[in-house]
Structure 1
Amino acid sequence: MNSTKLSKQDKRRFIGNLSLKRCFIAAKALLLTIVILNYGTSAVNAAPQSLRADIKIRLILNTLSDSPSVRIAKDPRNNTLYYLKRNGEIYRVNLGSSTSTLVYNSSNHNIGETQGLAIGPNGTIYLVGNADLVNNQTKAIIVKGEIQSGTQQRIWSILAKSAGYPKSKTAYDHRFNGVVVSPDGSFIYVNSGSRTDHGEVQSSDGLYPNTREVGLTACILRLPSNGKNLFLANNRATLKTAGYIFAEGIRNTFDMAFAPNGDLFGTENGPDRDMSEELNWLRLGGNYGFPWRIGGTDNPQQFPNYNPANDRLLDPRFNAVQKGYFRNDPTFPIRPNVTLIEPIPNLGPDADSYRDPVDGKVKDASVLGQSFSSFTAHRSPLGLVFDTQGVMSPEFNRDGFMLSWTPGDSTGETVAGPFKDPSQDLLHLNLTKVGTTNYKFNATRIVKDFSNPIDSEIIGNKIYVLEYGGNEGIWEVTMPTQ
């Protein structure tokens, strides 16, 4: 990537909850903590198809089993590929023989529900999981498997545990999920998603009156990779004092990745309102707006005159709309007196449909000559990777690539998901830095028809896509080289 070119669980919330459902729900109610909030997985699709003659696709293997596949990662030392099951099983992939071998499970690392997997430059595996507690509480557990000196055996230990904190008992308990390791291996960055859809009160059937977000939710934490038994208090001020808060105002950044220039990016999943999903340049101390700004626009519930009956962006097929979570809300928290960082604008040509809040019609931002922050509503952007080695052809060199989980409607709005946007694809993200304040990008579809793609990894000019739906395939996408 040069100085100017960075060179949108089961469904979108797998990205939170983990009581995922493997059927379509007519509402966007459940997505990945693993959040998959609500859109269950899609029916088994035909094989994914390349949209360019110079991009090739082949099936490596199917990973379908009793527990869903949720993450894929490589060991940077030798490019060995691993995938993670929600029950904590980790499999090593043999690309040559298209087979996999179970190498670790919960008996090794002691986490029974996992949502995050990353591997550091020295081969250390980092796992992020969650555990249910009494009184509808949860806690996060982050472990690491370090290579024992002189061997290839890993010793597992606890890097950090959180205090217990209240779940909302809804589809919006995103919990701890995405994790990425800094390029030098010194830190891990962990996403803790929101417990609400859009900042509304969620009292967990009265257990936690007047509770919206809490100290441990809606943020990204940065933890030292050499940490041991760190304690993460459910108190934002305490977390900040310890230096653990990296960014705030995050609804659910289920996936993060470092670009070739060292900048950190994250995909952000939006609410059950037709608000766009985000791509953000994540920076230390930044506040990304949730719940006051979502998808580059104001959350109307913060305003005293809000009347949901007049809100053209509320689709009755979605869970939060059906449950009445969009309401006139006089006690909505006051917006903080800080600069809220806006999403990166998408200049098209793809993934940029939006519903006009004035007339309720679905429109195409780039066709109208408008920028758009950042992806079509309900896409559930995941699986962000970059050509960090700079091996791809000039058109793609050092650029980004991203998946989207949710099945959409390519011509209309007949599904509870993306409108006039098929989604379930691989996008090429051509990013350009705009001074020191932000980026802009063009999004172009290059592969279509995955089945709930949930994560990806990149090795050289090959992108490996893991599906959550169908047979949970791992697909190899070969990109053109220099």
Structure 2
Amino acid sequence: MNSTNSSNQERRRFIGNLALKKCLFTAKTLLFTMALLNHGITEVNAAPKALRPDIQIRNITNTLSDSPSVRIAKDPRDNTLYYLKRNGEIYRVNLSSSTRTLVYTSSNHNIGETQGMAIGPNGTIYLVGNADVVNNQTKAIIAKGVINSSTGQRIWSVLAKSAPYPKSKTAYDHRFNGVVVSPDGNFIYVNSGSRTDHGEVQSADGLYPNTREVGLTACILRLPTNGKNLFLANNRATLKTAGYIFAEGTRNTFDMAFAPNGDLFGTENGPDRDMSEELNWLRLGGNYGFPWRIGGTDNPQQYPNYNPANDRLLNPLFGAVTKGYFRNDPTFPIRPANLIEPIPNFGPDADNYRDPQDGKIKDASILGQSVSTFTSHRSPLGLVFDTQGVMSPEYNKDGFMLSWTTGDPTGDKIPGPFKDAGQDLLHLKLTKVGTTSYKLNATRIVEGFSNPIDSEIIGNKIYVLEYGGNAGIWEISIPTK
């Protein structure tokens, strides 16, 4: 097999399980199956296009290889840029010469399949990976590479490992992926995605009867960066007692970022029902609703009279619908109290929704409404903030976010966002409302990426890493003060 065909096959395999959501007909898992090939990634790179003349774009390099590129991060000490491959390879990027150098492999950090990477203020690299074990189970491994002051190289060790826990044997095994380091460098926050689409029973063909979520899934953990060989039990009460659970009720917060004021935000990928994608203000002890509240809407499967045949938000383009995972479900778990709602988006962009009463697609901001938070199936990723406050007043200290999925700009004929192109960069103007919530306005500023998967920010420049096409790294220059 030649290298191009091999890389395309590998990327399709990852699409089938990427833990991103149903974005590519349900591309949200990390099962490494071929289940979701019906809607593939973009195969030919087209240069992204700025939607206003004061934004400049240049291609830094293309990273296409046999293993997909999944994360991009900077070393805060000197703004050196790195990107991560799914097979554990880490490359350093020279922005001046547009060249890249392989600096670490799985032989250094001993994780063969990686999903997350972040770099702390002291240059320590944190990697998040997963490994399959017997009986259709998986376990997470979190490694750290600490700078050796004598050699300048990193010494790798295990920060934490999880107990084995059951996969669902579906396209919804999100596993451990996103990671961010606290501004003071004392903690990392790690996302563990759900093993279900919307809280349904997934028994793995009877191997785990009546099993929905388990102790280690659908949550965000906070771990001390000075930890060594921490053990993450598959028991929610044990994890809470150890102080490791930061937030619950998160379906798959694939990316997180700290705003300039220190508040932590996370993007949230929704299910195969036409429910909004979320941006959440993540706080200690918060429950963000999954699987009872998703995208500001009740999950109807929690109600005893639910009849999926009458559900106008079920679209047969999506796998959980065609497989019958939306069903009357009398044993659905009891809803907890004090669920936290997503941040409302007042547009003008990424704010379409399907009306559950008449099934029609509507634009919330045109109607003077909001959605919680983005158009269904956008798959929000790549969240960054202008933490240095160097951008022009229009963007100063604001957020920026990618959307992975190819959408239908004029209708709803493909499994992606409806009447919404997707694959773009959004400007997020966040406004704090009192002390308990935020609201935002989302505006598209760059379009035409090939499945953008992650981003990093250095000064006024946002670096976007693509998963599709040639897996390019693009530099987006935003106006400065």
Q: Does TM-score exceed 0.5, indicating one fold?
A: yes
CA distance in 2, matches of 1:199, 1:249: 10
Partner of 1:62: 62
Partner of 2:341: 342
CA distance in 2, matches of 1:101, 1:179: 23
Partner of 2:259: 259
Partner of 2:316: 316
Residue 33 of structure 1: how far off its partner (Å)? 7.3
Partner of 2:473: 474
Partner of 1:395: 394
Partner of 2:87: 87
The C-alpha deviation readout for 1:128-180, integer Å capped at 9, x for no partner, is: 00000000000000000000123311100000000000000000000000000
CA distance in 1, matches of 2:178, 2:392: 29
Residue 372 of structure 1: how far off its partner (Å)? 1.0
Q: Is the 8 A contact 1:35 1:173 kept in 2?
A: no
- Whether 1:218 and 2:251 are equivalent positions in the alignment is no
Q: Amino acid of the residue matched to residue 325 of structure 1?
A: Y
**Counterpart secondary structure, 1:321:** helix
CA distance in 1, matches of 2:409, 2:223: 41
Q: Amino acid of the residue matched to residue 160 of structure 2?
A: A
Residue 36 of structure 1: how far off its partner (Å)? 11
Residue 197 of structure 1: how far off its partner (Å)? 0.1
CA distance in 2, matches of 1:439, 1:37: 37
1:62-461 correspondence to structure 2 within 5 Å:
62-336=62-336, 338-461=337-460
Q: Is the 8 A contact 1:29 1:318 kept in 2?
A: no
Sort the Cα spacing of 1:255 and 1:282 in 2 relative to 1 into closer, same or farther, 3 A: same
- Fraction of identical pairs, as percent: 82
Q: Is the 8 A contact 1:37 1:172 kept in 2?
A: no
Sort the Cα spacing of 1:26 and 1:390 in 2 relative to 1 into closer, same or farther, 3 A: closer
**Counterpart secondary structure, 1:374:** coil
Partner of 1:7: none
Sort the Cα spacing of 1:17 and 1:240 in 2 relative to 1 into closer, same or farther, 3 A: farther
**Counterpart secondary structure, 1:256:** strand
CA distance in 2, matches of 1:170, 1:279: 25
Residue 45 of structure 1: how far off its partner (Å)? 4.0
Q: Amino acid of the residue matched to residue 421 of structure 1?
A: D
Sort the Cα spacing of 1:115 and 1:273 in 2 relative to 1 into closer, same or farther, 3 A: same
CA distance in 1, matches of 2:60, 2:34: 24
CA distance in 1, matches of 2:113, 2:208: 24
Residue 411 of structure 1: how far off its partner (Å)? 1.0
**Counterpart secondary structure, 2:107:** helix
Q: Which has the higher contact order (CA 8 A, sep 6+)?
A: 1
Residue 414 of structure 1: how far off its partner (Å)? 1.2
Partner of 1:4: none
Residue 48 of structure 1: how far off its partner (Å)? 0.2
Sort the Cα spacing of 1:373 and 1:19 in 2 relative to 1 into closer, same or farther, 3 A: closer
Q: Is the 8 A contact 1:31 1:37 kept in 2?
A: no
Residue 198 of structure 1: how far off its partner (Å)? 0.1
Sort the Cα spacing of 1:386 and 1:25 in 2 relative to 1 into closer, same or farther, 3 A: closer
CA distance in 2, matches of 1:250, 1:36: 25
CA distance in 1, matches of 2:35, 2:217: 16
CA distance in 2, matches of 1:40, 1:201: 28
The C-alpha deviation readout for 1:30-63, integer Å capped at 9, x for no partner, is: 5567999945312324210000100000000000
Residue 28 of structure 1: how far off its partner (Å)? 2.7
Calculate the TM-score normalised by the size of structure 1.
0.94
Partner of 1:28: 26
CA distance in 2, matches of 1:427, 1:391: 18
Residue 437 of structure 1: how far off its partner (Å)? 1.1
CA distance in 1, matches of 2:27, 2:327: 17
**Counterpart secondary structure, 2:74:** strand
**Counterpart secondary structure, 2:226:** coil
CA distance in 1, matches of 2:23, 2:281: 32
Q: Is the 8 A contact 2:106 2:112 kept in 1?
A: yes
Q: Is the 8 A contact 2:23 2:378 kept in 1?
A: no
Q: Amino acid of the residue matched to residue 344 of structure 2?
A: P
**Counterpart secondary structure, 1:280:** strand
CA distance in 2, matches of 1:189, 1:34: 25
Partner of 1:6: none
The C-alpha deviation readout for 1:65-90, integer Å capped at 9, x for no partner, is: 00000000000000000000000000
CA distance in 2, matches of 1:67, 1:26: 19
**Counterpart secondary structure, 1:345:** coil
Sort the Cα spacing of 1:251 and 1:315 in 2 relative to 1 into closer, same or farther, 3 A: same
Q: Amino acid of the residue matched to residue 226 of structure 2?
A: N
Q: Amino acid of the residue matched to residue 468 of structure 2?
A: G
Sort the Cα spacing of 1:241 and 1:173 in 2 relative to 1 into closer, same or farther, 3 A: same
Calculate the TM-score normalised by the size of structure 2.
0.94
